[in-house]
Amino acid sequence: MEDSSASNGVSSSSGITDVTDLERYHVNGIPETAYYVPGFISEEEEAILLQRVYESPKPKWTQLSNRRLQNWGGHPHAKGMIPEDLPLWLQLCASKIAKLGIFGEKIPNHVLVNEYLPGQGIMPHVDGPVFFPVITTLNLGSHAVINYYTPADSTSAASSPTEKPLSDSTYQDVTEVEQPLSETQKRLDPRLVFSLLLQPRSLLIVKDDLYTRYLHGIYAVKEDVLDNKIANLKVCDKEVGTVMKRDTRVSLTIRLAQNTSKFKMSFFKTK
């Protein structure tokens, strides 16, 4: 008999069922809380998810200057979000992640699909306040190295007090803020605190300050040279100096948007 959940994406069962198990995946040696779960999904599940992403209607894609994306679950806005139901294949992903207990009793309701060709990246930014302060990323197709930078409001010597915080990548003005990618990267490099290698099929979970205050970004390069800033190199069984060629990477950023109904009411009141 065919397993309908598998044909729609990921099976909702998982070997990891509670937060106690999750502690095994805690990333050590970094100042904030992150979990890196290698092999969170199988190769079959990865292939099905990629198939679902690429069979989505063309208008679902938004082309940005250095990547393209699909937004599922409603459009985030500084004041909240009008929710839309996730398609079944994403609901299954969200349920599997919810079983880890990291969203309390809730199930994530928003998914951002980002596609990066080799040489593409995302400039350092913080995600918006619309979301519950846990961010989960499912990695498909290729690796990436994600960099974390000290917060713009940090008192560290490297940060400039005149600097404006960067906008949320999911906001409408993203195309404008993404133009000066290399300039921004150069300016922020002294503030790089640590990086994480994200292998295909892994799940990354970051929380609290790492989510709300640190900036995160991915270099726009065709290959990554692994260095000792990468906190999970050992877990990934990799060595400093290894060169990893990028292929096309698809990431699913799976989050819980809050205050959705409140926004709905005030939205209609102002019309």
Give the nearest distance from C-beta 114 to Fe ion in angstroms. Answer: 9
Helical ranges in 40-121 per DSSP H: 43-54, 88-98
Longest Cα separation, the chain: 62
88-98 vs 43-54: helix axis angle to the nearest 10?
A: 140
Please report whether residue 127 would count as binding ligand AKG according to CB under 6 A: yes
What type of residue sits at position 243?
V
Please report whether residue 147 would count as binding ligand AKG according to CB under 6 A: no
Please report whether residue 112 would count as binding ligand AKG according to CB under 6 A: yes
Radius of gyration of the chain (CA): 18
**18/208 with CB nearer ligand AKG:** 208
The site partner of 114 among ligand AKG, Fe ion, none (C-beta below 5 to 8 Å per kind) is ligand AKG
**96/216 with CB nearer ligand AKG:** 216
In terms of C-beta density within 10 A (0-12 exposed, 13-18 middle, 19 or more buried), how is residue 266 classed? exposed
The 3-state DSSP class for residue 71 equals: strand
**16/254 with CB nearer Fe ion:** 254
Of 8, 185, 253, 258, which one interacts with ligand AKG (CB under 6 A)?
253
Give the nearest distance from C-beta 108 to ligand AKG in angstroms. Answer: 14
The site partner of 45 among Fe ion, ligand AKG, none (C-beta below 5 to 8 Å per kind) is none
Given a contact cutoff of 8 angstroms between Cβ atoms, the answer to whether 216 and 68 are in contact is: no
Among the candidate windows 94-102, 124-132, 207-215, 260-268, which touches Fe ion by CB under 5 A?
124-132
Residue 100: left if φ>0, alpha if ψ -120 to 50, beta else—which one?
alpha
Given a contact cutoff of 8 angstroms between Cβ atoms, the answer to whether 257 and 109 are in contact is: yes
Among the candidate windows 15-23, 58-66, 166-174, 193-201, which touches Fe ion by CB under 5 A?
166-174
Binding footprint of ligand AKG on the chain (CB under 6 A): 112, 114, 122, 127, 137, 146, 169, 216, 251, 253
